[in-house]
Amino acid sequence: MTTPQPTETLQSRLETVIALSRLLERVEARGASIGAEQYRALVRRLQGVLATPLPAPALEAILGAHPATAEVYENMHYDVSGLSRSPLERSVATELQATQAIERASRSSRAGGAPAGDAGG
């Protein structure tokens, strides 16, 4: 599924990526309107098409227009590029929120009577 069929044209691959990207955007916007297995199947199919060679300008345009697809693509390539498609501000804000949550949990566990040395370490 990840390698293009000999009769599959670039145009048909691009059309497939766009159609799946639009569908994923609609699903993401509506929340839980499909089952978990259907959602996983949609994402797997999209990953399969994104794994095929696509021209960089076309891929950038698709990812720019479809944030959910950009997130799938980013997750597929995280091992080599990290969160390269995420805006820096969002990445920093997310890290700050995580740090604050860890600090709150740490204070909460100490306030709850746990010895200071037993809080996660």
pTM score over 0.75: no
Domain ranges of the chain: 1-85, 87-121
Q: Write the pLDDT tens digit of every residue in 79-100.
A: 655 555 555 555 566 777 788 8
Which stretches of the chain drop beneath a pLDDT of 70? 1-7, 32, 79-93, 113-121
Rounded Cα gap, residues 52 and 1, in angstroms: 9
With 0-12 / 13-18 / 19 or more C-beta atoms within 10 angstroms meaning exposed / middle / buried, residue 49 is: buried
% of the chain surpassing 70 pLDDT? 72
Give phi and psi for 120, each to the nearest 5: 80, 15
Note the pLDDT of residue 120.
46
Note the pLDDT of residue 2.
57
